[in-house]
Amino acid sequence: MVDKTGNSPALAQEFVQFCVEAGALKFGEFKTKAGRLSPYFFNAGLFDDGAKLGRLAGCYAKALMASGIEFDMIFGPAYKGIPLGAAVSIELARLGRNVPFAYNRKEAKDHGEGGTLVGAPLKGRVLIVDDVMSAGTAARESIAIIRAAGATPHAVAIALDRQEKATEVGPDGLVRDVDHSAVQYVQRQLGLQVCAIATLSDLLQYLDTQPASASGEHRERVLAYRQRYGVS
């Protein structure tokens, strides 16, 4: 069974297990960009060889194919989105879904072809491929680039949906939690579909299947974190 975001329980569990084995998903105490102490940390930069990146791209491609999301091309935002988008486009082509691919530079090039965009021209319905979505800032930047080129930002594919409250800076300069996640913001406010390979719920389910001696403490800490910062 697949839900409306393309999340397949079997694929999600396979993916979480793969992340743990690859060292891309770790348990402990990690400070997030929002200043929270998270009991787990996901780092897509640790899919650092051909086999890992290929398997990661396969998970993205399977989730996208299952989601039913229609798109005309892929955009990989600098920097992590560049190798992710390229690898996913290769895997989709292998599965019979060949689509154009483009990415951006952080700094404009003033020689050669110039500009900040590389690859296929941005047009049609564009799928943004990235690793996670913390505040929706990167998604908004990508949306602006895509619209400026005359194309339509249509959907976002991410590896892990942390399902936690986003933060925003108030008029007084203080950072506060809000009632929605970054993914929910992108879906509800920006109108884009989101496809996630796995979610925090899938991570908790994975911990439920592990021996209590190895996962009990991690599960309790992740569950407590979700109760404090999670969204419905």
Q: What is the CA radius of gyration of the chain?
A: 18
Q: Tell me how far apart the alpha carbons of residues 184 and 164 are, in angstroms, rounded to a whole number.
A: 10
Q: Write the single-letter amino acid at 217.
A: E
- Residue 185: other Cβ atoms inside 10 A: 19
Report how far residue 206's alpha carbon sits from residue 228's, in angstroms, rounded to the nearest whole number.
20
DSSP 230: B
**Catalytic member of 52, 62, 109, 123:** 109
Catalytic residue among 4, 106, 111, 165: 111
Q: Is 111 a known active-site residue?
A: yes
What contacts 37, CB < 8 A, 6 or more positions away?
A: 29, 30, 31
Tokens of 92: 């989709």
How are beta strands 165-169 and 115-119 bridged, if at all? unpaired
Positions marked catalytic: 109, 111
